[in-house]
Amino acid sequence: MREPVEFTVLEAVQAIQKGQISSRELTQVCLQRITALEPTLRAYITLTPDLAMAQADAADKFLAEWRQYPQGALPPLLGLPIAVKDVLCLANVRCTCGSRILENFIPPYSATAVERLLSAGVVVTGKTNTDEFAMGSSTENSAYGATHNPWDLQRVPGGSSGGSAAVVAARLVFAAMGTDTGGSVRQPASFCGVTGLKPTYGRVSRYGLVAYGSSLDCIGPMARTTEDVALLYSIMAGYDRRDATSMDLPVPPIQFSDKPNLKGVRVGVPKEYFISGIQPEVEKAVRQAVALMQTLGAEIHEISLPHTHYALPVYYLIAPAEASANLARYDGVRYGLRESDGDTLELFRNSRGAGFGPEVKRRIMLGTYALSAGYYDAYYAQAQKVRTLIKRDFETAFESVDIIAAPVAPTTAFPIGRHSGDPLAMYLEDIFTLTANLAGVPGLAFPVGFDEHLLPIGMQIMGPHFREDLLFKVGHAYQQATDWHQKMPLLEVS
Amino acid sequence: MTLTLAEVEHIAELARLTLTDEEKERFREQLSDILDYADKLLALDTGEIPPTFSVLPPRSVLRPDRPHPGLSLEELLRNAPQTEQDQFRVPPVLE
């Protein structure tokens, strides 16, 4: 038997169900590894070992009682240790969003997606690091310090779900929850060599996700395999009356075939995603992955998504505009940091000035400007129109192909501090991931190789709205034929 | 597009943000750069193109108006920086 830390989600759940290991033992394995590696990785903002042990014991007790009186199926993730990105509410555990302004905020309720995983039996080890309010591509914008990439501690894990990607890559837990507004699940998954899903907009309830860009925000799972990601997704997805944008559509059960077979699957390769400036090893690895899909039976078509190069300015007007409205709620009155005892306006200004970090202030300023009188039509309204063109690019493409294959990011993980002081250079890191959020389509990122520095390379496949099943089919077939997703970073356990 | 310091101060006032002089100057430069980049959108003719209000198909999101259990007063006030008599305390608005 393999070491428990190397288990996939499916293997861990089966080992618990078969009595080969208890949830308590498995959780202790994770907590010991966290104790050993967290000082190096700094992937968590808040650790919850007491909660984890209580949940593990409850899972073991449930299983013991079920064995005596088996009724119905066992909860599908019973006893499984995971981590939750610190922009998702978990009742009675502080939720900082990587910000000083919420340093002491303790939500009285859990996000629907978190609640569904809890009902499925998960054990929560803690809340993972994130760029402040999920605004960033490196996890350096956290008020609680940067997270280090497990493959190279001098490099970023990507962002904003960098903490969640790092804990999965370093085998501290079996899966983690992330969020993706402009690539924040897929890009860190790529930088850390794990598998991550940005679901279709409206597929997973956003209730209890602290809002950033509400027309773009998606909650998605991160794990080591497509099968694991699909299992977590199938539990999190589905209608929720508490989120008016969640779609009332059935979530079909996910089925996997034993043999990798992509016969009849039409894969589109958009030429706009292979631009000058892309790291040659990234392009090579993605093209090799596409070639492998062809040998598995897929048809490859070169396609065009002509408005791709507008995605960056469109995103960096719409997302900040939505953020400036969403973050108006932090005013020092009902929750969060309160500064100054002047009049009410002083209270608002000073609490926000002291509580928000530089990137959040920058986006609030940018969004406020884009929405302000005299500039609304030129910036915000124009961006929403170009967004329609980007969305139509995808609709047209999906008339002739089933999925679209592309790199996740132009490069592998970059050194910590590389883009400090140059926000535009940091925004360019998101150039390949923003389109899926603007069009609302699902995207699955998974590892397809390593560069010369032994840093993981990721690719993404995107599909039509609500066709996560196609992405899982292709991702699983690719992972059956390759072992990139099984590679593990070498970390010194002190 | 080059922003002036006065414009930066106006935006900060609209956004209810206290900024230091150093932050104002930095944001003046950085926001000008970002808006320059965004100007490539202005060249695109979008005359007949409708804006995207939602990426999802339009549909009714109304549900029956039935009461559901909510949070308790204690839970709602637990995160408040200052409370008084079970209410959020703020500075006086009227003297």
Answer whether B25 touches A (CB < 8 Å): no
Partners of A458 in the beta sheet? A447
CB A430 within 8 A of CB A315: yes
A180: phi then psi, degrees, rounded to nearest 5: -140, 105
- What secondary structure letter does DSSP report for A417? T
CB A393 within 8 A of CB A441: no
pLDDT of B46 over the 80 cut: yes
In B, which residues are within 8 Å of A334 by CB distance?
79-80, 88
Catalytic residue among A22, A85, A99, A138: A85
Distance CA A393, CA A201 (A): 17
Taken as a whole, chain A contains a residue count of 494
Contacts across the A-B interface (CB distance below 8 Å): 159
Partners of A299 in the beta sheet? A266
Distance CA A403, CA A100 (A): 41
DSSP string, chain B: ----HHHHHHHHHHTT----HHHHHHHHHHHHHHHHHHGGGTTS--TTPPP-S-SSPP--------------HHHHHTT-SSEETTEE----S--
Lowest-pLDDT choice from A160-164, B27-31, B55-59: B55-59
Average pLDDT over residues A414-438: 93
A295 to chain B, minimum CA–CA distance in Å?
Answer: 34
| A85 belongs to the catalytic site | yes
Distance CA A56, CA A59 (A): 5
Element (H, E) at A350: helix A344-355
Answer whether B51 touches A (CB < 8 Å): yes
Average pLDDT over residues A409-436: 94
Distance CA A363, CA A352 (A): 13
Helix (H, G, I), strand (E, B) or coil at A84: strand
B79: phi then psi, degrees, rounded to nearest 5: -95, 0
pLDDT of A273 over the 90 cut: yes
CB A198 within 8 A of CB A180: yes
Q: Looking at this predicted complex, what is its ipTM?
A: 0.96
What mean pLDDT value characterizes chain A? 96
Structure tokens at A166: 């790092």
pLDDT of A217 over the 70 cut: yes
In A, which residues are within 8 Å of B86 by CB distance?
none
**How does residue A257 score in pLDDT terms, banded at 50, 70 and 90?**
confident
Distance CA A335, CA A348 (A): 12
A269: phi then psi, degrees, rounded to nearest 5: -115, 105
With both helix axes pointing from N to C terminus, report the angle between B21-38 and A311-326 in degrees, rounded to the nearest 10: 140
Distance CA A9, CA A123 (A): 12
CB contact under 8 A, A383 and B41: yes
Structure tokens at B81: 């920086």
pLDDT of B60 over the 90 cut: no
CA gyration radius, chain B: 23
Peptide bond into A160 cis (omega under 30): yes
Using alpha carbons, select from B1, B29, B28 the residue that is nearest to residue B12.
Answer: B28
pLDDT of A98 over the 60 cut: yes
pLDDT of A477 over the 90 cut: yes
Answer whether A387 touches B (CB < 8 Å): yes
Check residue A494 and give its pLDDT.
Answer: 55
Distance CA A443, CA A404 (A): 9
Average pLDDT over residues A104-129: 98
CB A63 within 8 A of CB A16: yes
Average pLDDT over residues A45-54: 98
Interface list for A 326-385 with B (CB within 8 A):
328, 331-338, 341-350, 352-354, 356, 358, 361-362, 364-366, 368-369, 372, 378-379, 381-385
Q: pLDDT tens across A305-356, in order?
A: 999 999 999 999 999 999 999 999 999 999 999 998 789 999 999 999 999 9
Place of tokens 């996700």: A209
Average pLDDT over residues A469-476: 98
How would you class A374 by CB atoms within 10 Å of its CB: exposed for 0-12, middle for 13-18, buried for 19 or more?
exposed
In B, which residues are within 8 Å of A202 by CB distance?
55-56
For A327, the closest chain B residue by CA position comes to B15
Answer whether B73 touches A (CB < 8 Å): no
| A184 belongs to the catalytic site | yes
pLDDT of A134 over the 90 cut: yes
Check residue A1 and give its pLDDT.
Answer: 59
Check residue B29 and give its pLDDT.
Answer: 95
Helix (H, G, I), strand (E, B) or coil at A327: helix
Check residue A163 and give its pLDDT.
Answer: 98
Check residue A177 and give its pLDDT.
Answer: 98
Catalytic residue among A160, A164, A190, A246: A160
Check residue B81 and give its pLDDT.
Answer: 95
CB contact under 8 A, B90 and A333: yes
Answer whether A325 touches B (CB < 8 Å): no
Mutation target to probe the A interface, by most A beta carbons within 10 A, among B16, B37, B84, B94 is B16
Q: pLDDT tens across A138-192, in order?
A: 999 999 999 999 999 999 999 999 999 999 999 999 999 999 999 999 999 999 9
CB contact under 8 A, B71 and A108: yes
For B74, the closest chain A residue by CA position comes to A108
Check residue A493 and give its pLDDT.
Answer: 66
| A160 belongs to the catalytic site | yes
Element (H, E) at A82: strand A81-85
CB B41 within 8 A of CB A314: yes
Assign 3-class secondary structure to A34-51. Answer: HHHHHHHHCCEEEECHHH
